[in-house]
Structure 1
Amino acid sequence: MTEKKELNFEDAMQELEQVVERLEQGDVPLEKAISMFQEGMNLSKQCHEKLEQVEKQMDHILHEDGELELLHFQEDE
């Protein structure tokens, strides 16, 4: 089993795109496809976690006083 490598967001997305592209080609043996799928899920999780971290950082930057402000957007009718 390979150990989980920590990548920056861009590298993780690039590797995830390569895994998806290879799986979509359909010429991967089943055992390898399962392994690649697991790798893709790990990469997807890393990307999701990094996006959540950035979202929290942005929330902190925008609301340094600790106050949460709800923004309401109105649709054009």
Structure 2
Amino acid sequence: MATTRKKASFEEQMQELDSIVNQLEQGNVPLEEALKQFNQGMTLANKLQKKLTTAQNTLAKVMDENGQEQPYEKEGDDPTNEGGNQGYDSDLKDM
């Protein structure tokens, strides 16, 4: 009888990655096992990064009045200002 394995949650995968990192940091793992764990850790890290990117992209969108997804921008954001003072309205005029 085949067993079905439930898909691990993000948090469970993070715990598994943390465990692998801790074991490798201790340095008492035989080389072959260390290489196996390293590869497993890299695979997990890539999967987790993809999940985070997907979640970030989902959260960065809002629906407009017509039900269409739109990028989220707060009032006052200047998309041409690439990271500088976004959302900041200065009351200072030319002196």
Does TM, normalized by the shorter one, top 0.5? yes
Question: For residues 7 and 16 of structure 1, do their structure 2 counterparts lie closer, same or farther at Cα, with a shift above 3 Å needed?
Answer: same
Which protein has greater RCO, CA pairs closer than 8 Å, 6+ apart?
1
Deviations 1:17-48 (A, max 9, x none): 00000000001111000000001001101110
Question: For residues 41 and 6 of structure 1, do their structure 2 counterparts lie closer, same or farther at Cα, with a shift above 3 Å needed?
Answer: farther
Whether 1:51 aligns to 2:41 is no
Name the % identity.
36
Q: State the partner residue of 1:10.
A: 11
Normalised TM-score (structure 1): 0.74
- Stretches of structure 1 lacking an aligned partner (at least 5 in a row): none
Q: Alpha-carbon deviation of 1:73?
A: 5.2
Normalised TM-score (structure 2): 0.61
Q: State the partner residue of 2:28.
A: 27
Q: State the partner residue of 1:64.
A: 63
Q: Which has the higher strand share?
A: 2
Q: Which has the higher helix share?
A: 1
Q: Alpha-carbon deviation of 1:6?
A: 4.4
Computed over aligned residues only, the root mean square deviation of the Cα atoms, in angstroms, reads 2.3
Q: What is the count of residue pairs matched by the alignment?
A: 69
